[in-house]
């Protein structure tokens, strides 16, 4: 007896059952393809889960790198409003801080790119980023890279310390503590054209200087750099203060490294006693006699960083071979024409000081000359309405300052003469040429943010001039920290050269 045949489903129920069967089959096929694709390493080229889904269905996930870049594009810098400050003298006395500005800028300009890093333009498209980085690092390691020509690029990683993580910052350079509203000036790093200037490595520096002493000798700008270095090192080893009235000293016990600072505003001998036509009370600068204070300490130092020049804008008389030969903001009419102005006097002082250092038989270390630190006063001098307000990022174009160019030229000339005078010992002298790169960092000065006084003046006076500002020293943290990246690289190269 045969079984009765199954009747085909009839009506709407049959149609629905047939559609469900088809949909299940399609979904099963899609899932099968996905599993196969994943198991064989995406054998279906350029496919993803979204490719298998119907149009209009999306997959939720993280934004792509390009979307993140667009979404996090840098906005307008904070603090675009003019910055103004407090009236008080800015002349440093007895090593306690201050500065004097240069002359008026000349109209000559020079263009440089100061921009955020571009992922395409930052490297050679014919090689991979890893190859570029390797090549640049190799040049830096070999000491063949020119550190002083390049551009400023934005580095979102920020500074290595803050005004809260280093307790020794001089109040006048504590820009954030004094109420400066913008912070982008802290985030620009110097990028040489042909290689990478490594980010400061405190542990590497301390190991390199194990058992050694590094001394900064000069004026308040030298102090600025010394404090920057101590702050950078402080983040890995809190130092002990071993200083006295004659010399500031910080000992880092982990490596027995000492960082010192000796005040010497001129680097040559200074006296206020009467000399010839120059009466008592005026600073007499003996251009051919090195400053005996730091020369006494010189044999104790393994590395010395020398910087000076800004005090040559101060009222003074110049003495050479025992005779008064010129002056600045002082010269008696009856004495006739001066033989030497302050720019030429500075050049002579540099030659005198560096020759004495290099030829000192008891100094066998390394002497590094940090070149002229440019100021950025606009519209006058520090005490006549000069200002650097509103500068919140590196300049794209620099107005050349005639006084800065002249002083820098004399400093380099004096350095070269000293190298020649010292003969073989001249190899101890190295030039750290920061002047051009830092001509673009008008944003890095305290400006009016020199004091935490909440009632400080922030508006221009009735004459339209802003209060006196500090457009010479550098905020901490800030561009001055780059000097110590360059310093570390200079010391590393020289020590490796000596060992090699």
24 token code pair: 């299940």
- pLDDT computed for residue 383 by the predictor: 74
Whether residue 470 lies in the annotated active site? yes
What are 177-203's pLDDT values in tens digits? 999 999 999 999 999 999 999 999 999
**400 neighbors 108 (Cβ within 8 angstroms):** yes
**206 neighbors 254 (Cβ within 8 angstroms):** yes
Give the C-alpha separation, 40 to 175, whole Å: 59
- pLDDT computed for residue 348 by the predictor: 98
Whether residue 473 lies in the annotated active site? yes
- Out of 269, 283, 473, 481, the active site residue is 473
Nearest to 324 by CA among 353, 345, 299: 345
> Could you tell me which residues come within 8 angstroms of residue 462 by beta carbon, excluding any fewer than 6 positions away?
none
- pLDDT computed for residue 398 by the predictor: 85
- Out of 375, 405, 470, 481, the active site residue is 470
What is the separation of C-alpha 337 from the centre of its chain, rounded to a whole number of angstroms? 42
Nearest to 473 by CA among 156, 158, 237, 178: 178
Kindly tell me if the per-residue pLDDT of 385 is higher than 50: yes
What is the separation of C-alpha 278 from the centre of its chain, rounded to a whole number of angstroms? 40
- Out of 102, 220, 228, 387, the active site residue is 220
Give the C-alpha separation, 174 to 398, whole Å: 26
**97 neighbors 170 (Cβ within 8 angstroms):** yes
- pLDDT computed for residue 144 by the predictor: 67
Helix axes 402-422, 342-358, angle to 10 degrees: 30
411/11: higher pLDDT: 411
Q: Characterise 56 by phi-psi region: left (phi > 0), alpha (psi -120 to 50), beta (else).
A: left
What are 84-124's pLDDT values in tens digits? 232 333 433 333 333 344 444 433 334 343 333 333 233 33
Pairing of strands 257-263, 213-218: parallel
Looking at residues 378-386, what average pLDDT do you find? 82
Nearest to 205 by CA among 187, 232, 224: 232
Kindly tell me if the per-residue pLDDT of 35 is higher than 70: no
What are 415-458's pLDDT values in tens digits? 999 999 999 999 999 999 999 999 999 999 999 898 887 666 65
Nearest to 246 by CA among 259, 263, 230: 263
Whether residue 220 lies in the annotated active site? yes
pTM above 0.85, yes or no: no
What are 279-314's pLDDT values in tens digits? 999 999 999 999 999 999 999 999 999 999 999 999
303 token code pair: 């590395």
**478 neighbors 186 (Cβ within 8 angstroms):** yes
């Amino acid at each position: 007896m045969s079984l009765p045949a199954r009747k085909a489903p009839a009506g709407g129920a049959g149609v629905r059952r047939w559609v469900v069967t088809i949909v299940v089959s399609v979904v099963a096929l899609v899932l099968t393809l996905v599993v196969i694709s994943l198991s064989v390493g995406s054998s279906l080229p350029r496919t993803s889960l979204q490719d298998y889904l119907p149009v209009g269905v999306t997959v939720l996930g993280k934004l792509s790198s390009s979307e993140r870049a667009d979404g996090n594009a840098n906005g307008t810098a904070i603090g675009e409003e003019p910055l103004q400050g407090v009236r008080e003298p800015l002349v440093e006395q007895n090593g306690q801080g201050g500065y004097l500005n240069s002359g008026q800028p000349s109209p000559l300009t020079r263009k440089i790119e100061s921009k955020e890093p571009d992922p395409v333009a930052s490297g050679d498209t014919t090689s991979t980023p890893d190859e570029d980085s390797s090549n640049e690092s190799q040049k830096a390691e070999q000491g063949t890279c020119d550190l002083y020509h390049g551009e400023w690029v934005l580095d979102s990683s920020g500074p290595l310390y803050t005004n809260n993580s280093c307790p020794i910052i001089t109040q006048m350079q504590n820009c954030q503590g004094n109420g400066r509203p913008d912070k982008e000036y802290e985030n620009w790093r110097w990028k040489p054209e042909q290689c990478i200037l490594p980010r400061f490595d405190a542990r590497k520096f301390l190991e390199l200087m194990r058992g050694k002493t590094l001394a900064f000798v000069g004026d308040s700008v030298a102090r600025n750099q010394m404090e920057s270095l101590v702050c950078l090192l402080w983040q890995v080893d809190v130092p002990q203060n071993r200083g006295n009235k004659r010399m500031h000293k910080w000992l880092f016990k982990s490596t027995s490294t000492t960082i010192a600072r000796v005040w010497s505003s001129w680097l040559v001998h200074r006296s206020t006693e009467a000399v010839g036509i120059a009466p008592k009370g005026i600073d007499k600068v003996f251009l051919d006699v090195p400053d005996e204070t730091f020369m006494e300490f010189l044999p104790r130092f393994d590395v010395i960083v020398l910087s000076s020049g800004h005090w040559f804008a101060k009222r003074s008389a110049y003495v050479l071979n025992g005779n008064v030969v010129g002056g600045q903001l002082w010269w008696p009419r009856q004495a006739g024409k001066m033989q030497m102005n302050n720019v030429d006097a500075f050049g002579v002082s540099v030659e005198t000081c560096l020759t004495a250092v290099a030829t000192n038989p008891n100094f066998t270390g390394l002497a590094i000359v940090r070149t002229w630190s440019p100021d950025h006063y606009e519209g006058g001098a520090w005490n006549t309405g000069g200002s650097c307000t509103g500068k919140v990022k590196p300049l794209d174009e620099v107005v050349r300052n005639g006084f800065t160019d002249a002083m820098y030229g004399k400093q380099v000339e004096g350095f070269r003469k000293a190298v020649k005078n010292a003969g073989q010992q001249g190899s101890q002298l190295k030039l750290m040429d920061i002047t051009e790169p830092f001509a673009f960092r008008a944003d890095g000065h305290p400006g009016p943010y020199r004091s935490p006084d909440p009632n400080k003046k922030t508006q221009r006076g009735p004459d339209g001039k802003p209060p006196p500002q500090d457009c010479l020293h550098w905020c901490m943290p800030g561009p001055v920290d780059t000097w110590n990246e360059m310093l570390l690289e200079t010391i590393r190269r020289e020590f490796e050269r000596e060992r090699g």
